[in-house]
Chain A
Amino acid sequence: MTARLLLAEDTRDLNRALTTVLEHEGYNVVSAYDGQEALDYLSSEVFDALVLDIMMPKKDGLQVLSEMRAAGNYTPVLLLTAKAEVDDRVAGLDAGADDYLTKPFAMKELLARVRSMTRRHDDYAKQRVAFEDVLLDAQTFELSAANTVRLSVREFELMQTLVSHASRPLTVDYLLDSVWRQEDDAQEDTVQLYVSYLRGKLKWVGSHVTIQKSDEGFCLANDKTEL
């Protein structure tokens, strides 16, 4: 799929040069020349990522960033800062930028950062992860081996966390942090119950994978090797 970028840069020559290079890399690029124009595009169209210059007429990049985030738009943003000042970069990241690049920059580096931003976005949305005979689909929350079942959001997040650290035991505290984000009423019992749900569901989809508990924490394991 072609990623769609919004490029907001008021210097016409630079805007044109960047557009040419990005289009050559296969991106679909829309150009804006001031902050207000960028906001207008953002309110009417959908983009996969945004390259945003800080110094722009009408509204500067930081204003655009905080207005779009306040409106609930979480499209990844790469800020272009003219000054190498620390305060500028800190302000940008605090306002919700995902990354920044200081002018002058190498075109190669800009492309690498745009790639990283759009890839991150893609991966989260469409990931399918596997461990042994189990497949976990992030789009449908389907857990499958011989059979399939639908997981609840929490069950899915727990399973995904276990799969992405498959070889390492995870402590209850780590799971409460990353899956339950330290919600007030989530406790060790909660984790234990959800582990039990997943063990049951792994069994009923006909998988050989189970969740082992040791002193170090919870870890996926192949049940067959146990027998």
Chain B
Amino acid sequence: MTAETIIQSLASGLLMGLLYGLIAVGLSLIFGLMNIVNFAHGEFLMLSMYGAFFLFAFFAIDPLLSMPLVAAGMFVFGAAIYLLIVRFAMRAKTNVGMVQIFATFGLAIVLRGLAQYFFTPDYRSITHSWLGGKTVSIGGIFLPVPQLVGALLAIVAFGALYVFIKRTDFGRALEATREDAGAVALVGIDQNRVFALGWGLGSALVGLAGAIMATFFYIYPDVGASFALIAYVVVALGGFGSVFGAFAGGILVGLVEATTALVMPPSLKAVGIYAVYLLVVFIRPRGLFGSI
């Protein structure tokens, strides 16, 4: 193992990590807002990837261009899921924990089933997008272009999210609702609307990630499952609900994955990520960057 291979794999780990952060940030946003884990988050990613795929297959729109469309579609979808399902799940009086887990869990299973039924279990891929299959060499390190663009996109998205949360009315309402939903209702902010927009925004972010991932990853109905698990790890590392913790958590997970792949067989690289999750929650039950 030369220094070059190590740098090479850490660099690609960093790129993947930024993308993991982008995948996970919606999950974290929603959790922070209302203390609910969306167990269908991976399926949201899967739908976004299919969205980009079909826009490419039917209308020949490159994922780079269809990305805003996919994000907008996911915004509507996420808000609708809140209004149709999650809103009611939050009203449960008995078995609260079970309802909150299984309402979105059931949704995940339905979405996976629908995808298998309508899109078939076949593996799809976007064969010749603008980004796909290209690499670029920076100082002797080869970086795949789709991941590089994805990582840049993640940085931009996190920046925009920061501005959005700090500078806009909705962003401030979001922050306020996170802090104290009851008090927010008292000052006349419609909590339901904030929650719906929060779900929309969180889903739109995973839509961005899905569109870019469609350019370099196989698309199939179960694709969300493993990424969802990674997203939970990212969110746990960053501290559940901390949006910028997800950014740092993503990078960390990407680097851990790359390091594991260096020392263990590739089929076991996920073990490193999972082990980090366990290690972190055992030592700090609220995540690395979470407030206690």
**A is bound by B:** no
List chain B positions with a Cβ less than 8 A from chain A: none
